[in-house]
């Protein structure tokens, strides 16, 4: 009995020694800078940097010299921290936010048919190109809301996705999941946006949406440097976004919005600088949208 126990103990000891030797021989050394970068990253593993996670991005920075400025959720502070670790000069990060280029909720935009399937935008889009008559409108089934790791997206009661400018980190997960490319990235400092994604001619847009862009040219005539019309759709030239304000009031369909004046109708998000303790702006969205 004792001999058997001794024998088993010896075998166990030899196996442990063998495993230890193998671990030392095949160990992969991790650059300490890589660990240090992981510590200063946001830890969201959101993929905004273009890599599958924070660890992969840190490895790319150390081994491949990838830019330290790709972690948008971390902001400029993270960029500077990574630059210090790598001993390079920090680049200026341009903060961006995601914008839903649509205001055509279930009340303002028509549907082709009543969709009763899976509550997923990608699934709905595969069925006759989606239930919404506008080919580029928000389907309102919440795929982007579920994809957002920061709680920056809400669905209004009338089926429209709205993104909080305060909560959005620019991770682009919502952009990736939207089957109609309704969501686009824009500079955070720009508050005026054309909230339409239809490239149909104005006559067609009027038939299916109350708040769609009809390419009437009024915004461009009002602020020539701030707007362009491309393929029957207006867009803000963000290099001149400071001049885009006059186009908001001139737009006949109200498809241009300045988020400083409020979010799309039905949203619970408040305009920047609003006193959350008051209800003064409770009807601001209604006023701006109306």
Residue 102 marked as a ligand binder: no
The residue ranges of DSSP E strands in 4-152, in sequence order, are 96-100
Residue 121 marked as a ligand binder: no
**Of 57, 77, 56, nearest in space to 67 by CA:** 57
Return the DSSP state at 68: T
Residue 213 marked as a ligand binder: no
Residue 49 marked as a ligand binder: yes
Residue 196 marked as a ligand binder: no
Residue 171 marked as a ligand binder: yes
Cα 211 to Cα 251: distance, rounded to the nearest angstrom: 10
Residue 46 marked as a ligand binder: yes
Q: Decide: 127 and 145 in contact? Cβ < 8 Å.
A: no
Classify 4 as helix, strand or coil: helix
DSSP output for 75-116: HHHHHHHHHHHHTSPPPPP--EEEEE-----TTTB-BSS---
Residue 144 marked as a ligand binder: yes
Residue 148 marked as a ligand binder: yes
The residue ranges of DSSP E strands in 143-244, in sequence order, are 153-155, 161-163, 183-187, 192-194, 227-230, 233-236
Question: Which residues carry a binding-site annotation?
Answer: 46, 49, 54, 71, 134, 138, 144, 148, 168, 171, 174, 178
Question: Which residues carry a binding-site annotation for [4Fe-4S] cluster?
Answer: 46, 49, 54, 71, 134, 138, 144, 148, 168, 171, 174, 178
């Amino acid at each position: 009995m004792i001999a058997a126990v001794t024998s088993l103990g010896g075998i166990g000891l030899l196996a442990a020694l063998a495993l230890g030797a193998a671990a030392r021989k095949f160990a992969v050394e991790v650059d300490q800078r890589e660990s240090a970068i992981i510590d200063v990253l946001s830890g969201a593993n959101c993929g905004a940097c273009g890599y599958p996670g924070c660890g992969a991005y840190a490895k790319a920075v150390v081994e491949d010299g990838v830019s330290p400025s790709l972690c948008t959720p971390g902001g400029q502070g993270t960029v500077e921290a990574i630059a210090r670790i790598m001993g390079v000069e920090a680049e200026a990060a341009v903060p961006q936010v995601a914008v839903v280029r649509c205001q055509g909720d279930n009340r303002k935009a028509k549907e082709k048919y009543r969709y009763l399937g899976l509550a997923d935008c990608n699934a709905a889009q595969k069925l006759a190109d989606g239930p919404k008559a506008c080919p580029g409108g928000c389907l309102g089934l919440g795929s982007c809301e579920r994809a957002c790791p920061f709680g920056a997206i809400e669905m209004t009661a009338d089926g429209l996705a709205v993104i909080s400018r305060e909560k959005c980190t620019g991770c682009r997960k919502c952009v990736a999941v939207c089957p109609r490319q309704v969501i686009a990235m824009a500079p955070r400092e720009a508050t005026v946006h054309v909230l339409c994604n239809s490239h149909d001619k104005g006559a067609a847009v009027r038939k299916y949406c109350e708040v769609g862009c009809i390419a009437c040219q009024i915004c461009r005539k009002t602020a020539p440097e701030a707007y362009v019309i491309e393929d029957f759709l207006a867009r803000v030239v963000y290099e001149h976004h400071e001049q885009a304000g006059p186009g908001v009031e001139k737009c006949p369909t109200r498809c241009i919005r300045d988020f400083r004046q409020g979010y799309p109708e039905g949203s619970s998000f408040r305009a920047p600088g609003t006193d959350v303790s008051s209800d003064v702006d409770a009807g601001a969205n209604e006023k701006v949208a109306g």
